[in-house]
Chains A and B, each alone.
Chain A
Amino acid sequence: GAGVSQSPSNKVTEKGKDVELRCDPISGHTALYWYRQSLGQGLEFLIYFQGNSAPDKSGLPSDRFSAERTGGSVSTLTIQRTQQEDSAVYLCASRDRGDTQYFGPGTRLTVL
């Protein structure tokens, strides 16, 4: 079946521009996570959505980062006024009622 998909796969932007990253979770999965993976680092938790509950935003590094999940399905991670340190791979994962998170292929963001 279809897994988690993310778009775009690569994004190059100029410092100061806004970017939007999209995640399509596995159909029927109620939980959705965003992680950031910087070069040579493990994955860093950013934000978590569960059903209609208020999202857990405790991992967002600054107020330039925000995320939405519309209709309990697709999610968009927005980074405003991008900085060079925002360059990383942004990974999305979804989960059903079990505890296994299924990851998408990620979006590689490069801020020039």
Chain B
Amino acid sequence: GQQLNQSPQSMFIQEGEDVSMNCTSSSIFNTWLWYKQEPGEGPVLLIALYKAGELTSNGRLTAQFGITRKDSFLNISASIPSDVGIYFCAGQRGGSNYKLTFGKGTLLTVNP
């Protein structure tokens, strides 16, 4: 099935550094979402974006819905060891089923 293009695939950073990851698509989505998955767990929603151009923050996390509705980015500021995990972008096209299309994920490792 179709997947979003998410990059980078992995990141190794030092504690305190800022992180940026992004997703692009060849088609439009009405909603962009960012999830975090830790080992042995299901993905947990971090941020949801509903309008083109929208910039939303959740603590140290900031995400933007691209103006073309074909891309989104997630920034994490001042990273801490518990930020470790796999971050997924997901898009929804709307309609009543809210079916999600996922990126392949960005594996984040934070060195203390």
Contacts between chains A and B (CB distance < 8 A), count: 64
Q: Is residue B13 contacting chain A, with contact meaning CB distance below 8 A?
A: no
B66 close to A (CB within 8 Å): no
Does B100 sit within 8 A of A, measured CB to CB?
yes
**Docked CA distance A93–B102 (Å):** 14
- Interface flags, B83-110, vs A, CB<8A=1, else 0: 0000010101000111111111100000
**Range class of the A interface residue count:** 20 to 34
Closest CB in chain A relative to B3 CB, distance in Å: 5
Answer yes or no: A105 CB below 8 A from chain B CBs.
yes
Contacts of A105 in B (CB 8 A): 40-42
Q: Which of A50, A59, A93 contacts B42 (CB 8 A)?
A: A93
Contact B98 A42 (CB under 8 A): no
B6 contacts chain A at the CB level, 8 A cutoff: yes
The docked-state distance in angstroms from the alpha carbon of A35 to that of B48 is 19
| CB neighbours of B102 from chain A (8 A) | 35, 42-44
Measured CB to CB, the nearest residue on chain B to A9 is B40
A48 and B42 contact, CB distance less than 8 A: no
Residue of A with least CB distance to B45: A100
In contact, A56 and B92 (Cβ under 8 angstroms): no
Which residue of chain A is the closest to B105 with respect to CB atoms?
A42
Q: What band does the interface of chain B fall in when counting residues whose beta carbon is under 8 Å from A?
A: 20 to 34
The answer to whether B99 touches A44 (Cβ under 8 A) is no
Query: Is A85 an interface residue, CB under 8 A from the partner?
Result: no
CB distance from B88 to the nearest CB of A (A): 6
- A48–B104 CB distance below 8 A: no
Give the one of B4, B99, B101 with max A CB within 10 A: B99
Residues of B with C-beta under 8 A to A42: 3-4, 6, 88, 102-105
- Check B100–A43 contact: CB distance below 8 A: yes
Q: Determine if A26 is an interface residue (Cβ-Cβ < 8 Å).
A: no
- B contact residues vs A (CB 8 Å cutoff): 1, 3-4, 6, 31, 40-45, 48, 88, 90, 92, 96-105
Q: List 30 interface pairs A-B (beta carbons < 8 Å), by A numbering.
A: A4-B42, A9-B40, A31-B97, A33-B100, A40-B105, A41-B104, A41-B105, A42-B3, A42-B6, A42-B103, A43-B90, A43-B100, A43-B102, A44-B102, A45-B99, A45-B100, A45-B101, A48-B97, A91-B43, A93-B42, A99-B98, A100-B48, A101-B45, A101-B98, A101-B100, A102-B45, A103-B42, A103-B44, A105-B40, A106-B40
